[in-house]
Amino acid sequence: MRKRDLLILLLALAVAVTVTISIFARSALETGSWGLSFRQEGMPPIGNAGRDQLARYNAAYIGNTEEKVLYLTFDAGYENGCTAQILDVLKAKEVPAAFFLVGNYIEKNPDLVRRMVKEGHTVGNHTMHHYDMSKLSDKAAFSKELTDLETLYRDTIGSEMPKFYRPPQGIYSEENLKMAQELGYKTVFWSLAYMDWKNDAQPTKEEAFQKLLPRIHSGAVVLLHSTSRTNAQILNELIEKWKALGYRFGTLDELFQTV
């Protein structure tokens, strides 16, 4: 091979490597807290990562954006006296929901957990201790946080825990998503939430509706906290308002059929 041809070949290889690295860098998921950017009222927000990026790891934050369906989920690190009322409303309205629970919750509130399951709701894995899972780079430590909760759930309910996982505080890493996938889990983020978790600074009914109505969108995965007194107070009316806008309520199984 002539020297000139060799130089051209080496240059072409260098360009190819640079392009490959650039594409990989753009597609890699940065470690951090899940976040959303709302650009237009009634339209889906943009997440920290795209749908396709998340789908590589059986993860999702939004469903079918062509259909007026939403997925109602609750996170619970502890019981605050609101869950029974929330379950009453869900039962009366025939709305399915998912509850992401930690170990402490299941240990202290087994009857509520049994009721969730009996009434057709999904109980998902929010880890045993609600750690920042992005700091658990060791697969054994990461796995233990999920499998210990699975065992507690099995001992409490008598059946296997559904394989849906929500990272505590929404903090994640690409490696975490991969490890959850390898454990058979689907990771569930969200496309609509609001500041409802502070007990000493609960939003008013009006403030809640200002966040939860204009920003609702097709395929929304809604995150509420079942510790919130405001959520318990407004849930009946909130569901009716969403239904009046034409929305129906889907399950997490359905969500992952669309992503």
Residue numbers annotated as active site: 75, 225
14 and 20 in contact (C-beta within 8 Å)?
no
Long-range contacts of 205-212 (CB under 8 A, 24+ apart): 205/230, 205/233, 205/234, 208/234, 208/238, 209/234, 209/238, 209/241, 212/238
Query: Could you give the CA distance from residue 3 to residue 1 in angstroms, rounded to a whole number?
Result: 7
